[in-house]
A and B are shown apart, each in its own frame.
Chain A
C-alpha cells in the first residue's frame, strides 16, 4: 500500500463561538484517486478543506500533504495544493489571463504564458484570456476559479462544491475536466451533497456528518447499499391478511390494511417485481396507487450516525 498523499489525524476545529465544526477527523487520501466528500450542509466539509489548505487554523490534530506537515512544513505542503473555493471570488476588473497568472505567481512559479493559455484552453476559456472577469457568465467564472487552482500545477486539487447551482450541461463538463485531471495523475477531493455526483466520478466516498467522518468506502460498494428501494401499493379496499400467493413475497401489510410494502434491491439481477405484480393482479385486489422510493442520503446518514452511536455505547 503506497503512502497516502494526504493524511488527517484527529483533526478538531472549534470556532471562537464554541461551535465545533470538526470533532476528530481521521482520513487518508490515496494518491491519484478522486475522493468525494459527501455530507449535508453544515457537516464540516468546507471547514475540513479550509484546514488542509491553511485558510482555517485547526484547534488540534495533524495534517500532512505529500509527507509535509501543514503546520510546521507549510511552505512545501501548500506548494502541492490547489483549491477551488465554493463561492466565486474574483477580481472584477482584472482580465482572466492576468488573474490566473497572478495565482501562479503566488505559488512562486515562474511566469509561463504558454502554460496559462493551455490551462485556459483545457477549460474552454481560451478565447476569454483578455476579458475582464466581471464580463463572464457564472459558469465561466467557476472555470476561471479552476484555472487559478491549476495554474501552479498542484498534485492535490480540492474542489469545494464545484457543481453547486450550475446547470446540468455545465456539471457534465465539470466532470469531464475532473476525469482529465485524474488521467494526468492529480489527486482530487471534491465536496458535494449530490449523491449522483459522487456516484458519477468518485473512486471512493467519504461521508461526513456533524464534524465526523462516518464512513469511507469504495463508491461501488456504497452504491450497492444505497440501491435499496421500497415499493408501496395502496389498495382500494383494506385486507386483513395477505392472500395465499402474496405471502411468499415477504411483504409487510400496514395496520389499517390499506397498504402493502415491498423492499427490493433495484440493482439486483432479479428484483422479484414482475412476479410480485402478476401475483398481485391475480388475487383481484383493486389497486389505487403504486409508489417507489429510494432510501435518501439523509436516511443513510441517520443510519450511519445511529450505528456509530450504538457502536460507541458498546
Chain B
C-alpha cells in the first residue's frame, strides 16, 4: 500500500478545499437554515407530528442527508474531473499507485469535506429545533458510510463527465430527485402502497431511514436492511471504479 501517495492526494485535495472553505460552507448552511425556517417554524407548527416526532425535528436527518449526498457527489466529481480537465491526472496515472489508492485519496478527501459540512448543518439544526440523538455512534457510522458511497458515485461521474455541464447535470438530475423522493421530508409509510414499493428501489430511502433511526429510534425500513443496502451500494460503486481503471475507460488512451 502506497500510503505516502494516498496522503499526498488527500492533503492536496483538502488544501484545495480549504482555500474556498467559506464558499463551501456558506451555501449549504444558508439553504438548510432556510428549510428550517420554512418547514420547521412557519409550516412545521401546523403539520402534525410524524410517528411521534415534531415535524421540525423529523426533517433534520433528511436535510443533513440532502446536503451530504449532494456535497459528497459534487466534491468527488469535481475533485477527479479538474485534474483530468487540466491534464495533471496523467501524472497520477503514471505514478506507482493502484486504482484503489488513487480512489482512496480523492474519495477520502471529498467524503471528509461532505462529512464536515454535514456536521456543521447538524450543529445549525440545534439552533432551530429541539433535537436529541438516540444512537450517536450509529448516526456517525451512517453519516460516514453515506459520505463515502456518494463520494464514490461522484468519482465515477467525474471520470465520465466530458465537460462542466455534465459535471453539474447529474447531481441535479439524479441526486436531487432521489433525495426528495427518498423520504427526506416525509415517512414513506405515508405513501400509497404501490409507491412504497417503488421507493424501495431508491437507495436514498435506506440512507435516510437508517439515519433517522439513529436520531429517533424509528425507521421506515429495518436498520439492518438499511446498513446492508448502503454497503451494497458502496461495493457496487467500488466495483465500477475497479472496472474503469482496469479498462482505462475515459482515463487511459
Residues in chain A within 8 A of chain B (CB atoms): 15, 50, 53-57, 74-76, 78-79, 81, 83, 85, 87, 89-94, 98, 101-110, 148
* Interface assignment of B163: CB less than 8 Å from any CB of chain A: no
Residue of B nearest to A80 (CB): B96
Contacting pair B248 A57 (CB below 8 A) = yes
The 22 sampled A-B contact pairs (Cβ below 8 Å) are A15-B253, A55-B94, A55-B252, A55-B253, A57-B252, A75-B2, A79-B96, A83-B91, A89-B87, A89-B91, A91-B83, A93-B16, A94-B12, A102-B12, A105-B4, A106-B8, A106-B9, A108-B2, A108-B4, A108-B5, A109-B4, A148-B91
| Size category of the binding interface on chain B | 20 to 34
Most chain A CB atoms below 10 A, which of B8, B9, B87, B97: B8
Residue of B nearest to A54 (CB): B94
Q: Produce 1/0 per residue, B82-119, CB < 8 A to A.
A: 01001110111111111000000000000000000000
Which residues of chain A have C-beta atoms less than 8 A from B95's C-beta?
Answer: 78, 106-107
Query: Interface readout for B2-16 with A: 1 if CB under 8 Å, 0 if not?
Result: 111101110010011
B1: nearest chain-A partner, CB-CB: A108
Establish whether residues A106 and B90, one from each chain, have CB atoms under 8 Å apart when the complex forms.
no
CA distance A93 to B18 in the complex (A): 13
Closest to B105 in A: A106
The distance from the CB of A303 to the nearest CB of chain B, in whole angstroms, is 31
With A78-B96, A105-B5 as contacts: A90 and B88 at CB distance below 8 Å: yes
A105 with B91, Cβ < 8 A, contacts A56-B253, A74-B96 known: no
By a CB distance below 8 angstroms, the chain B residues around A53 are 94
Complex contact A50–B8 (CB within 8 A): no
Q: Are A78 and B7 in contact (CB under 8 A)?
A: no
Identify which of A87, A101, A108 contacts B96 (C-beta below 8 A): A108
A-B pairs with the 9 shortest C-beta distances? A105-B8, A89-B87, A106-B95, A78-B96, A53-B94, A75-B96, A108-B2, A108-B4, A54-B94
Since A75-B96, A106-B8 are in contact, a sample of 4 more A-B pairs with Cβ atoms closer than 8 Å, ordered by chain A residue number, is A74-B96, A102-B8, A105-B4, A110-B4
Q: Are B96 and A76 in contact (CB under 8 A)?
A: yes
* Most A C-beta atoms less than 10 A away, residue of B8, B86, B94: B94
Q: In the complex, are the beta carbons of B7 and A105 less than 8 A apart?
A: yes
Which of chain B's residues has its CB closest to A90's CB? B88
**Interface centre among A56, A78, A105, by most B CB within 10 Å?**
A105
Cβ of B46 within 8 Å of any chain A Cβ, yes or no, is no
CA distance A89 to B90 in the complex (A): 9
Q: Across the interface, which residues of B come within 8 angstroms of A15, CB to CB?
A: 253
Within 8 A of A (CB), among B1-53: 2-5, 7-9, 12, 15-16, 19
Known: A89-B88, A105-B7. A54 touches B93 (CB 8 A): yes
Q: For B253, what are the chain A residues with a Cβ–Cβ distance below 8 Å?
A: 15, 50, 55-57
- Whether the Cβ atoms of A91 and B93 lie closer than 8 Å is no
Q: Which of B3, B88, B93 has the most CB of A within 10 A?
A: B88
